[in-house]
Amino acid sequence: MRWTLKPKPEAAKVVLLKEALQVDDIVATLLLQRGIETYEAAKTFFRPSLSDLHNPFLMKDMDKAVERIETAFFKNENILVFGDYDVDGTSSVALMSSYLKTRTDNVATYIPDRYDEGYGVSFKGIDFAHDNDFTLIIALDCGVKAIDKVAYAKEKGIDFIICDHHRPGNKLPEAVAILDPKRDDCDYPYKELCGCGVGFKLIQALASKEGKVVEELSEYLDLVATAIGADIVPITGENRALAYFGLQVINSSPRSGIKAIINQVKKEELTITDVVFIVAPRINAAGRMKHGNYAVTLLTETNFEQAQEYAAEIEEFNTDRREADRRITEEALQQIDKQGEQERFTTVVYHETWHKGVIGIVASRLIETYYRPTLVFTKSGDKLAASARSVSGFDVYNALEACSEHIEQFGGHKYAAGLTLKEENYEVFKQAFEDEVSKTINNSLLTPEIKVDMQIDLPQVNDKLWRIIKQFAPFGPGNMTPIFMTNNLRDTGYGKCVGEDDKHLRITVTQSGKEKLVCIGFGLGDKLDIISNKKPFKAVYSVDENHWNGNVSLQLKLRDIK
């Protein structure tokens, strides 16, 4: 690990914010590092409000989208809600369809089959719409690049409204409306919404025409928060408010489907991290192992007993997903070792039998071992399909764009993308991708980085600091859990390895011999010798709390030690 200490904010700004908020240096510094420089900005950060959300009509084409949907209501048209098969897509479809059903009975949903149709808007989906007399398709979390599909729909008399958050290409589809904050010609103030977030802005706009305020739509925010967490979008600005209130809904009155998932894992208060690691994988497992329809059915079910049955079914898919993910990761690591590819700038592996539903997870797992831009390919029909994942600081989407002559189709973000290519182009693409990455990547990015907010002394870690840090939540990109560094620590002499195979490290540290704090270092068991015999060491860590036998105490969660 390389430790990177974030730049210190200007001393004068720290003093001003300290005085305005009546806080200490640590809190003022943490806020300034997150772009919060004034009392008003801090108030918005610590006390988010749904009234802080932007007017949805600031988004390009929102007026056209609302007008077309209201026409569909008036004319009793059939509306098909179409979305991708991942968490963002299925949450978006559940949100949009359940809202539209409060306004009209003529609504159905469509999730493409991951294996038969692949990502995004499909010809098969449009044929389904045509065969069943749908005249309007609302596409969520996909569609901004579906130029040929939207043209095909138009020929069949079907209009499209697109709600997307992916980067558009040079040309836009000829849809009635394209809601995408990443459009160059869209002046919407917040650019980082997920697909479900864009969908929420559309229902906010529709509801406002009925005289409703955004607070009356809070029942949909459990879906929005789940999608925000799963899609790893920045938890800043509007996303922060949506995630904050969405978590409140998840923890107080979630929809039946989410409640059924939470009941299975017996977790009381969920954080955004729990949403990412508990709720999202189960919703995702439907589309990965079977079909995304199962997720939409679960998320739109209003009867709790029925939702529990659906959740139990999805739990089985998730168990299958975990087993496939473990096995394929092992096979991929063996392939890398056998081919002697450890010295490359990229990891590109392929096996025709690997399960398409888990190759994205496997790509992330491989990065844990070989930290570099990674592609995992499998056979999909007569083509090869891959999931791409990147390392912090490197734009894998741009790298794929540079190799696009060898690719049939690709799309995604800076850190995660998907692509298909012809089997005969695999080797030439693999080399082109390696060449492009080796040319453009900064070598330092090939070592995992821990970004450290600031250096502090151990006595500064106290209950008061912890109470304020808790109010920084929900954490995520753009507002990560604060990470501190402390020098000259020593173990009190009782440090030991714990857990299966002694994988983890549990120590009690002191800096000056007085104050003591318990630390847990997950996956740091192999560093026991660094702290043995009371040798001095330095650590990077986050502040956490330990719950044991009804007692709650402060502890440090070690990220690395040297």
| Domain harbouring 213, CATH code | 3.90.1640.30
CA dist 419 and 407 (Å) reads: 7
Bigger pLDDT: 475 vs 412: 475
Does 301 map to a domain? yes
CA dist 125 and 441 (Å) reads: 39
Domain boundary among 247, 278, 313: 313
pLDDT given at position 341: 65
Is 139 in contact with 160 (CB distance < 8 Å)? yes
Residues 72 and 211 in one domain: yes
Is 228 in contact with 235 (CB distance < 8 Å)? yes
CA dist 3 and 560 (Å) reads: 9
Rounded average pLDDT over 497-512: 92
pLDDT given at position 119: 79
Angle at 163 between CA 217 and CA 109, to 5 degrees: 75
Residues 96 and 225 in one domain: yes
DSSP letters, 332-388, are HHHHHHHHT-TTSSSEEEE-TTS-GGGHHHHHHHHHHHS-S-EEEEEEETTEEEEEE
Residue 223, class by beta-carbon neighbours within 10 Å (0-12 exposed, 13-18 middle, 19+ buried)? buried
Residue 402, class by beta-carbon neighbours within 10 Å (0-12 exposed, 13-18 middle, 19+ buried)? middle
- Note the pLDDT tens digit of each residue in 197-211: 999 999 999 999 999
- Note the pLDDT tens digit of each residue in 449-479: 999 999 999 999 999 999 999 999 999 999 9
Looking at residue 437, which CATH number applies to its domain?
A: 3.10.310.30
Residues 252 and 379 in one domain: no
What lies within 8 Å, CB to CB, of 18 at 6+ separation is 24, 25, 28
Least confident window among 99-103, 258-262, 279-283, 548-552: 548-552
Residues 174 and 122 in one domain: yes
CA dist 523 and 508 (Å) reads: 17
Domain boundary among 249, 278, 313: 313
Is 500 in contact with 543 (CB distance < 8 Å)? no
CA dist 541 and 333 (Å) reads: 30
Residues 546 and 480 in one domain: yes
3-state secondary structure string across 379-414:
EECCEEEEEEECCCCCCHHHHHHHCHHHCCEEEECC
For residue 163 the two structure tokens come to: 């709600």
- Note the pLDDT tens digit of each residue in 292-351: 899 999 999 999 999 999 999 999 999 999 999 999 999 999 999 887 766 789 999 999
For residue 446 the two structure tokens come to: 């090939």
Does 454 map to a domain? yes
Rounded average pLDDT over 479-495: 94
Looking at residue 521, which CATH number applies to its domain?
A: 2.40.50.460
pLDDT given at position 288: 86
Backbone angles phi, psi at 463, to 5 degrees: -60, -35
pLDDT given at position 342: 65
Residues 131 and 235 in one domain: yes
- As a dihedral over the C-alpha atoms of residue 389, residue 391, residue 397, residue 400, rounded to 10 degrees, the angle is -80
Residues 253 and 163 in one domain: yes
pTM: 0.90
Q: What is the residue whose two structure tokens read 């189709």?
A: 409
Does 44 map to a domain? no
Residues 89 and 196 in one domain: yes
3-state secondary structure string across 412-472:
ECCCEEEEEEEHHHHHHHHHHHHHHHHHHCCHHHHCCEEEECEECCHHHCCHHHHHHHHCC
Backbone angles phi, psi at 445, to 5 degrees: -70, -10
CA 425 to chain centre: 31
CA dist 385 and 377 (Å) reads: 5
pLDDT given at position 512: 81
- Note the pLDDT tens digit of each residue in 250-303: 999 999 999 999 998 888 889 999 999 999 999 999 988 889 899 999 999 999
Is 36 in contact with 23 (CB distance < 8 Å)? no
Identify the helix (H) or strand (E) that includes residue 244: helix 237-252
Domain boundary among 413, 446, 479: 446
For residue 464 the two structure tokens come to: 């008061």
Residues 472 and 406 in one domain: no
Is 415 in contact with 400 (CB distance < 8 Å)? no
CA dist 547 and 307 (Å) reads: 31
Number of separate domains in the chain:
3
Does 237 map to a domain? yes
Rounded average pLDDT over 46-75: 97
Rounded average pLDDT over 378-388: 93
What lies within 8 Å, CB to CB, of 503 at 6+ separation is 497, 522, 523, 525
Residues 498 and 536 in one domain: yes
Does 45 map to a domain? no
Closest CA to 125 of 110, 135, 138, 136: 110
List, edge to edge, every strand of the sheet that includes 409-412: 347-350, 374-380, 383-389, 416-422, 409-412
Backbone angles phi, psi at 175, to 5 degrees: -95, 165
Residues 174 and 289 in one domain: yes
Amino acid at 302: T
For residue 260 the two structure tokens come to: 């059924």
Does 48 map to a domain? no
How many CA atoms does the CB half-sphere of 490 hold within 13 Å? 11
What residue numbers bound the domain in which 425 lies?
340-446
Mean pLDDT (the chain) is 94
Does 67 map to a domain? yes
Residues 122 and 170 in one domain: yes
Does 38 map to a domain? no
Backbone angles phi, psi at 252, to 5 degrees: -120, -50
CA dist 105 and 111 (Å) reads: 19
